[in-house]
């Protein structure tokens, strides 16, 4: 049996087949950039610049989302919509008080949280991280995050109790949460 002249010798075909298989396998292992790419230049690796400024300014940054999306408006947004919600002077004064209290409690917690995150980042950037230091810092960060979230959520509870059901429903419509507020506590 003779081989056609245009075919490469068998060893060349084996080499070509091997190169093809290796190339196919290698293309399957192409490295995808990490979703963290670019974040290694952050001042605090775990926080964006917006998060840092939000914590330092006492902003909510979505911490009270369960309240907001379940018919418990926040004082700042209600004050922003005072005319549309037809707030009474007494409601406006109370909401201003709720907001001031919330912000006064949130500011030191936000500063402390940013400080602990800075400390955590320094441990790792200085290659000084230990398991005991990690346990201490992450427990403190978790406690601060919980306290900060509770501060914002409490303000939403107080705001919801102050408003009439019609005002809460109007607020929800203004914010794009068109369904009527459900599961509201009754006013005392």
pLDDT tens-digit readout, 125-167: 999 999 999 999 999 999 999 999 999 999 999 999 999 999 9
pLDDT at 138: 97
> What are the φ and ψ backbone dihedral angles of 40, each rounded to 5 degrees?
-70, -10
| Rounded average pLDDT over 59-64 | 94
pLDDT at 17: 62
Cα separation, 186 vs 184, whole angstroms:
6
Q: The whole model's pTM is what?
A: 0.76
pLDDT at 93: 98
pLDDT tens-digit readout, 74-133: 999 999 999 999 999 999 999 999 999 999 999 999 999 999 999 999 999 999 999 999
pLDDT at 187: 47
Residues 6+ apart with CB under 8 A from 102: 58, 75, 151, 152, 154, 155
Cα separation, 96 vs 101, whole angstroms:
9
pLDDT at 32: 83
pLDDT tens-digit readout, 11-52: 666 666 666 665 555 555 557 889 888 888 889 999 999 999
Whether 56 shows a pLDDT value over 60: the answer reads yes
pLDDT band (50, 70, 90) for residue 188: very low
CB atoms within 10 A of CB 70: 15
pLDDT at 1: 57
């Amino acid at each position: 049996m003779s081989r056609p002249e245009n075919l490469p010798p068998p060893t060349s075909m084996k080499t070509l087949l091997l190169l093809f298989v290796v190339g196919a396998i290698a293309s399957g292992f192409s490295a995808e950039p990490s979703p963290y790419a670019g974040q290694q230049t952050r001042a605090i690796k775990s926080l964006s610049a917006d998060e840092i400024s939000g914590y330092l300014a006492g902003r909510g940054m979505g911490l009270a989302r369960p309240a907001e999306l379940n018919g418990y408006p926040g004082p700042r947004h209600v004050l922003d919509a005072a005319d549309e919600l037809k707030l009474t002077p007494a409601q406006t004064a109370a909401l201003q008080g709720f907001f001031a209290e919330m912000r006064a409690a949130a500011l030191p917690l936000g500063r402390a949280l940013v400080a602990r995150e800075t400390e955590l980042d320094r441990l790792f950037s200085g290659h000084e991280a230990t398991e005991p230091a990690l346990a201490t810092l992450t427990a403190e960060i978790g406690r601060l995050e919980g306290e900060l979230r509770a501060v914002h959520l409490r303000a939403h509870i107080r705001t919801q109790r102050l408003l009439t059901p019609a005002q809460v429903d109007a607020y929800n419509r203004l914010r794009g949460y068109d369904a009527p507020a459900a599961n509201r506590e009754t006013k005392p």
